[in-house]
Amino acid sequence: MIFLSGIHGSGKSYLCKELNKYNIPTCSASHLVAKYKKDAYSSNKLINNIDDNQCVLIKAMNSLNDGNPYIWDGHLCLLNGDGEICRINSDVIIKLNPKIIITKVSDPNEIFKRLKDRDNQKYNIDFLKSFQYEEIQYAKELSKMLKIKFLTIDDDFKIDEIVEIIRRVCFMAGAYKWRLLSECDINDPFFDSLKYDYPEFENWYLKKAREEKQAFTYIDENGLGAFVMLKFDEVETIQMQNGKLPTCKRLKISTLKLSDRVQGNRLGEGAIGIALWNWLESDDEEIYVTVYDKHMKLIEMLKKFGFILAGYNPNNEGIYVRSKKEIDFSTPYTSFPFINQDQNEFALLPIDEKWHDKLFPYSELKNTKQETEEFAAANGMTKTYLFFPYSEPVYKENQPILIYRKFAGENKKFKSVITSYGTIVRCIKIKQNYVEYMALEDYKVLVGNKSAFSFEEIESFYSQRNLYVLEIVYDHAFGEGNNVNYFTLKNNGIWKDGHPFQAMYSMSDFKSILSYAKQNIGKLIK
């Protein structure tokens, strides 16, 4: 998150509107607090209970935060009920955990004019100078305390330059990559907890580095954020304090660590998702990882993806296991990335090519398996799509769904293809026949920056007659060259005529599609 600060009238709102045009999402702290409290702000900038609003702000922000980068439009200084300049509590900013603080400044005379024209409020020019000075000084102090970057932007800003700064700092700051252990710094503070929990860790790490072992890692300007190391084909009995896990072929997640800034968001989801994709492709019957109870957030995510606590080893680590013989199909996450053999209803999601390639770009890229995994993990396994069906769709929670890329150019019957499939988390009705089932502001908060659409597009879609939000877990991509086109589907009696949002495919249809896509049916269906 980037914290965009500035006093009232400094031009933050205008800057946010400009950033939205570049598909950079923003969120207003005051609007979010107001929504959360179900109470609109007046033009009066005096805040009677600043501390209360700050508590609400943290709660509201936590409800919004999914780990995707965005601009947080807020204030570091406010006016109390007596009109005095007050700094917000530094603990609030610490909990918001920004990557950079940007302060928007403006000429006090211009601020005076804006506040007068906008809110019919007249402030002393010298007071506005003091107000803005305090905002800047506090921003500098906070950035120093948090050890993050700080910069100011005046009214002469060039939007292209600001966009580049934001994307460099936040959006493009880090990436998932398969790296040799020798490429990672063992002295990075990221490893401190592993060294503490496992005294032998450093020697083990250096040994594996000499063996040129790889790990799946996320690195940004703050250093390592995620580290996943896999060991295939382990065949041994796992001793527990009360019993043992019998011998079988297992994939061991030998090291799994997610930093606080990664846990609970799409990046953490991506790390575990990649481990499970590798397990799917392997011949290993089970996958497991050992974790101490104190790592509660990590354990919560493991359970979300179907890992079950089998017991504790002699070192008092919890042993979390998944088995291909006992897949929990009750949710799209616990079953990921497998399909239930008893499933007999598969839906179809047609997506225009430009939106498909933004939402599922690795379905089309001519990349290696490693490159595909790196891209997929950075974008997470949960996808959000907005669509406008002519009639109410028949999508059901926990239902598999085929992803169909609609091509509008020449030879579309050969270039319109099924590229992949997922499982529906939920389908939310926003509007049907112009009847509003969710208010505009609630809809915008729901979608946030989780879709392939810009904020301007998201808002414009609300004028549609019918509007739905679809969340899916992305289970599997066929890979470049394996996509199944319309011609093949039609000629083999698989394509369902009629409206695609109403179409249903059988297990027999699904297996045929997998066969044409050159996929291993036995590994995908359990």
pLDDT value of residue 449 = 66
Determine the CATH number of domain 347-524.
2.30.130.30
Share of the chain above pLDDT 90, in %: 53
Cα(144)–Cα(142) distance, integer angstroms: 5
pLDDT value of residue 458 = 87
Res 394 pLDDT > 50: yes
pLDDT value of residue 340 = 97
The alpha carbons of the chain give a radius of gyration, in whole angstroms, of: 26
The arithmetic mean of pLDDT across residues 379-407, rounded, is 91
pLDDT in tens, 256-310: 998 877 666 677 888 999 999 999 999 999 999 999 999 998 999 999 999 999 9
pLDDT in tens, 482-503: 999 999 999 999 999 888 888 9
pLDDT in tens, 203-237: 999 999 999 999 999 887 677 889 999 999 999 99
Predicted confidence band of residue 58 (pLDDT cuts 50, 70, 90):
low
pLDDT in tens, 175-189: 788 899 998 889 989
Provide the 3-class DSSP secondary structure of residue 255.
strand
Determine the CATH number of domain 2-171.
3.40.50.300
**Domain residue extents for the chain:** 2-171, 175-323, 347-524
Q: How far is CA 47 from CA 50, 128, 192, in A?
A: 6, 17, 43
What are the phi and psi torsion angles at 368 (to 5°)?
A: -70, 165
pLDDT value of residue 92 = 81
Res 352 pLDDT > 50: yes
Quickly count: other Cβ atoms within 10 Å of residue 372's Cβ: 20
Res 384 pLDDT > 50: yes
State the amino acid at position 366 in one-letter form: K
Q: Name which residue leads in pLDDT, 278 or 39.
A: 278
Domains 175-323 and 347-524 agree in fold: no
The tokens describing 104, both together, are 């928007």
pLDDT value of residue 386 = 94
pLDDT value of residue 40 = 41
Assessment of whether the complete model's pTM goes beyond 0.85: no
The arithmetic mean of pLDDT across residues 456-463, rounded, is 89
Q: Name which residue leads in pLDDT, 43 or 202.
A: 202
* Local structure of residue 118 (DSSP, 8 states): H
Place of tokens 């968001």: 265
Contacts of residue 387, defined as CB under 8 A and 6 or more positions apart, other chains included, come to 349, 351, 393, 467, 468, 470, 501
The arithmetic mean of pLDDT across residues 365-392, rounded, is 77
pLDDT value of residue 62 = 56
Contact 510, 400 (CB under 8 A): yes
The tokens describing 431, both together, are 């509007």
Cα(73)–Cα(29) distance, integer angstroms: 6
Selecting from 3.40.50.360, 3.40.630.30, 3.90.1010.10, 1.25.40.10, what CATH number does the domain 175-323 have? 3.40.630.30
Res 354 pLDDT > 90: no
